[in-house]
Amino acid sequence: MPAQRATTLRRVPGTPCYYCDQIRAVDPAYGPLAAEFDVGSNAPRCWRHWRYVCGRCGQPSHFMAAAYCTARRAFFCADCATGTEEVSGAFWCWDYAFRYRSPWSNEWCASLDRLEFDGIHPLQRGRPPAGGASDPISRESVLTRYPRRGPGTHRVDDLTDADVVASWNRNADRWDAGYDDDGDRNRKYQSDEPMLALLGDVRGRRVLDAGSGNGYLSRKLARAGATMTGVELSDRFHEIATTRERQQPLGIAYHNASVSTMPFLASGSFDKAVSNYVLMDVRDYAAAAREVHRVLKPGGTFVAVIGHPCFQCGPDEWYKPAPDSPRLEDAAGWLVDRYFHRGPTVTQWGDFAPITGFHRPLRDYWETFRAAGFRVEGFEEPSVTERGRRELRASRVARCLRVPYSCIFQLVKRMSPT
């Protein structure tokens, strides 16, 4: 059970503070403060649990995303910190705390929630005069939550393959920078292991990587004994993959083309095919399914990984009553909207340039695969692998267990027409 610590805070009547309430639920000796900020929201907050102004950048941040540098005698935010870590250890209602490396002293400093629990918060004895030069509390009265961020949408006729190429070319180098030989964090800790299990043994098999991107999966399968062919629409991703093939030859043949039209590949020439987070970014995905079916041998396996349509159709974000909180567990649920929208979307992910994709309800994929001539042999919604449980932070594992970010189809080409 998380540790408890009695404090000397005086109970003040008024609107309860969102965080004081959480603390008091596990520590009856805690004296909550009344909320002064964001009072009309689902997470009204007292001054101690509000937003602190960074002494370096001047911007306010959530009290858990802020720390105090004793050497500088100043607060600083997580964005200005030169390092961020999670430190395991239960206190109050949490089982870990953040710590941030000071941009001035380079020392590790605990987040303000942990400092309060330990009784060494720099404002433990009270707040300076509100609004004064020494007051670090942000003067914002509310957090702006609108307009809610969501994917932009377009008519399908408004976009061409050239638009898709341009979108991915702009992001290819930044995307590639987040990969190692096992892919990015999502592929490494969530989807690749079940995807490879459904693909099965590739030794001595001809395998198509339909939508090969930077080539990491083609290289991985080639090292496992497959004869690999990759097809990729993005010029820049194709260039990255072919450059690596020249530097470390593995016998991979790469083609810069759409997976919806592959006349350069002979019918019935592959034992297996894989499409790893590709089809939801393909304009004519039905044609792509038919093309993969054509180039597979009868009885061949096609494994398709897609972003889960049920959790990729809205703002692509968690809803948090306190939206500035750095804690993943503060999320109350996933925002889903416009699930039955069919067509192009433009989504902003972090620092990437806007990315063009295509949303379809899950049933559309099932029907498209069936119409192309496949039998659905298996279906998976990956959460987190055993490796992920070992190597990821506990809060990240807990988040992965809440909703699936992807789903995987194991498809088999029928031996004869039905």
The string over 132-155, giving b where at least 16 C-beta atoms fall within 10 Å of a residue's C-beta and e elsewhere, is: eeeebbbeeeebeeeeeebbeeee
Task: Kindly state the average pLDDT of the residues 92-97.
Answer: 94
147 lies in some domain: no
Task: Answer yes or no: do 183 and 300 share one domain.
Answer: yes
The CA distance from 336 to 73, in Å, is 43
**Domain ranges, residue 50:** 18-118
Domain-located, residue 36: yes
pLDDT at 378: 97
Per-residue pLDDT at 13 exceeds 60: no
Residue 101 sits in the same domain as residue 177: no
Which one-letter DSSP state was computed for residue 334?
E
> Does position 153 have pLDDT exceeding 70, yes or no?
no
**Residue 261 domain-assigned (yes or no):** yes
pLDDT band at 83, cuts 50/70/90?
Answer: very high
User: Which of 75, 102, 118 delimits the end of a domain?
Assistant: 118
Residues 34, 112 within the same domain: yes
Q: Are residues 178 and 110 in the same domain?
A: no
- pLDDT, position 334: 86
Quick one: 76 and 212 in the same domain? Answer: no
Buried b (16+ CB within 10 A) or exposed e, 43-74: bbbbbbbbbbbbbbeeebbbbbbbbbbeebeb
Judge whether 66 lies within some domain: yes
Token reading at 296: 């597979």
pLDDT for 171-217, tens place per residue?
999 999 999 999 999 999 999 999 999 999 999 999 999 999 999 99
Q: Is residue 363 part of a domain?
A: yes
Residues 163 and 45 placed together within one structural domain of the fold: no
Residue 65 vs residue 395, higher pLDDT: 65
Looking at the structure, do residues 99 and 165 belong to the same domain, yes or no? no
Q: 161-177 and 235-247 helices cross at what angle (nearest 10)?
A: 40
Q: List, for residues 402-417, the tens digit of each pLDDT value.
A: 999 999 999 999 886 5
* 135, part of any domain: no
Predicted confidence at residue 347, as pLDDT, reads 80
The answer to whether residue 380 is domain-embedded is yes
Do 198 and 51 have their domain in common? no
Q: Rounded distance, CA 298 to CA 269, Å? A: 10
Domain check: are 169 and 70 in the same one? no
Domain count, the chain: 2
Domain membership flag for residue 361: yes
99 and 199 share one domain: no
The pLDDT value given to residue 10: 45
Q: Are residues 108 and 194 in the same domain?
A: no
Beta bridge partners of 180: 183
Task: List the CATH number of the domain containing 249.
Answer: 3.40.50.150
Distance, in Å, from the CA atom of 94 to the CA atom of 332, rounded to the nearest integer, reads 16
Residues 53 and 171 in one domain: no
